């Protein structure tokens, strides 16, 4: 799935991915791929600016950690990020219901007096 198709939803996807616990950028990309069956496969040029934007907004916290090999930045949700994710889920449910009502074929209703 192309990044353009995710516009308006990328932040919610990243917050949902971090809901399970802290993760570094590569792990976030891998988890998005895993949970979407490979449909969402972000490039680092899309992911890292989005993570920076979420951090600047106070929705996630980035902490430098040291592990085998090198330092890396690990991201985790803040309380404000959890609240934003909760709100985004409500917005998403409303969006899906509204668009689904328009795009799904209407259910066949028997006309009055016809056998059912």
Give the bridge partners for 63, in sequence order.
74
88-94 mean pLDDT:
94
37 located within any domain: yes
106 located within any domain: no
Q: Answer whether residue 101 shows pLDDT above 70.
A: yes
pTM of the entire structure? 0.82
85 located within any domain: yes
Using an 8 Å Cβ cutoff, are 13 and 32 in contact?
A: yes
115 located within any domain: no
What's the pLDDT tens digit per position in 44-69? 899 999 999 999 999 999 999 887 77
32 located within any domain: yes
21 located within any domain: yes
92 located within any domain: yes
- Tell me how many domains the chain contains: 1
pLDDT at 52: 97
3-state helix/strand/coil string of 18-34: HCCCCEEHHHHHHHHHH
107 located within any domain: no
Give the bridge partners for 64, in sequence order.
73
28-37 mean pLDDT:
94
What domain range is 62 assigned to?
3-101
Q: What is the CATH number of the domain that holds 30?
A: 1.10.10.10
What letter would DSSP give residue 77?
Answer: E
pLDDT at 78: 98
Q: Answer whether residue 104 shows pLDDT above 80.
A: yes
Between CA 108 and CA 58 the distance in angstroms is 48
């Amino acid at each position: 799935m192309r990044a353009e198709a995710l516009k308006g939803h990328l932040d919610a996807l990243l917050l949902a991915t971090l809901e399970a616990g802290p993760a570094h950028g590569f792990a976030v990309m891998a988890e998005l791929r895993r949970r979407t069956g490979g449909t969402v496969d972000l490039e680092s040029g899309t992911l890292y600016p989005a993570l920076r934007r979420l951090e600047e907004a106070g929705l996630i916290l980035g902490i430098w950690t040291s592990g085998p090999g090198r330092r890396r930045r690990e991201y985790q949700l803040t309380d404000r990020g959890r609240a934003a994710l909760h709100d985004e889920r409500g917005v998403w449910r409303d969006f899906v219901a509204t668009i689904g009502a328009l795009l799904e074929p209407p259910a066949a209703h028997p006309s009055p007096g016809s056998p059912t």
